[in-house]
Amino acid sequence: MQVPELTDNDAINLFTIEDSLYVATETNYLRRVDVKTLDTCEKVDLNKLVGINLSSSHTCRDAKGVYYTLGTSLLSGGKYHIITIPFSPSGKAKDVIPKTSILTNIPSSWYSNVSYYHSFGMSENYIVFIEQPLVINGLKLLTANVKGKSLRECMDWHSNEQNKFIVIEKSTGNIIPVKYKSVKSFFLFHHINTYEENNQLIVDVIAYDGPGIIDALYLKKLRSSEMDISDPARGRRFVLPLPQQSRDIATGCNLVTLDSKATAEKDGDTVYLKPEDLSEPGYELPTINQQNFGKKYRYYYCSGMYDPGPFRNSVREVQFVGSPGSSVEDDGILLAAVTDVRKDEPDFLIVLDATTFKEIARAEVTIHIPNIRENVVENVTQGLTSDTTA
């Protein structure tokens, strides 16, 4: 099987690796950007470093300074890989990029297909990969170039299959030997946060009932304001019990002991998960106070879509900037870029009080800010030594 060459048009996420700023999409390429001139610089090919063809748009960095991402290799049946970039004592990206390595390998549940993903979850001790039933069909991908098909046209949705939650120990790369599945299938782009409490793993995501949102974001629909919001996303919380062996888990009872409406019940060799809804429907692009990444938290911030044609006035991903030296979770400001396509109305960056949501200021610009972009202000607000999260 020969994998078609994928785009290096990195247009989804920006993040830092030590002293350098990179942009990424969902392929094996990263592109460095000069932080002073915004010129594009050298390309990093993760296929040459660790043999992957696809990767998560989002990376995570832990308290030790180690970067993590998720990748897929499409050859030999299809596998997922947890990839690490070590901490650099020198603070230089050029010293650690060549040391990129694979922490663990995860076989796909399908022989010739692999799950589509956009992000993953990480707590202090664990990584969570949700293998969802929107799959990239390997046979379709093989002939995509010849038939002139896009990656989306190589995807299949198996609504009768559940999502699988795969939990990996960060310290060893070992996969927790417990099968976790959702009771109902769902589709997700984004993890909100993941943390541990009382030997349970809390996994918060923005979830849809199906993948229709992908088709709703085609450019021709956005240009005509045809935004289908019949399946709006919402925050959902899953709680996973964390015994080391599946046989240690009791059957026929709810294993969730936290104050949550989420449930986890073992049937046979599998723990089936029902989520708790965290919000009303209609929210996406979550962010949190990064001081609480991988820890118990209270607040997350999203953009909402209520108008049948939100492209007319679209608020992109909100970014939280904490007050210097403050340990209060919502003490800070929120930044969001807003596109207003009405004639003679400027686009702008809005600044809100994170506690009251009152407008503090706005900075209007005379140019159009491209719609549907993630994290374009993240590293400006957090500085070039900070990390990005899934």
Pairing of strands 121-122, 113-115: unpaired
Q: Which tokens hold the place of 271? A: 């723990």
Angstrom distance (rounded) from CA 239 to CA 123: 13
Binding residue numbers for Fe cation: 58, 118, 190
SS3 30: strand
8 Å CB contact between 30 and 49: no
* Inter-CA distances, 187 with 26, 98, 107, 178, Å: 17, 34, 20, 22
**Within its chain, how far is the Cα of 197 from the centroid?**
22
Pairing of strands 67-73, 79-85: antiparallel
DSSP string, 74-139: -STT-EEEEEEE---TT--HHHHGGG-EEEEEEE-SSSSEEE--S--EE-SSEEEEEE-SEEEEHH
Beta-carbon contacts of residue 312 (< 8 Å; ≥ 6 apart): 225, 340, 341, 342
Binding residue numbers: 58, 118, 190
Q: Length of the chain in residues, anyone?
A: 390
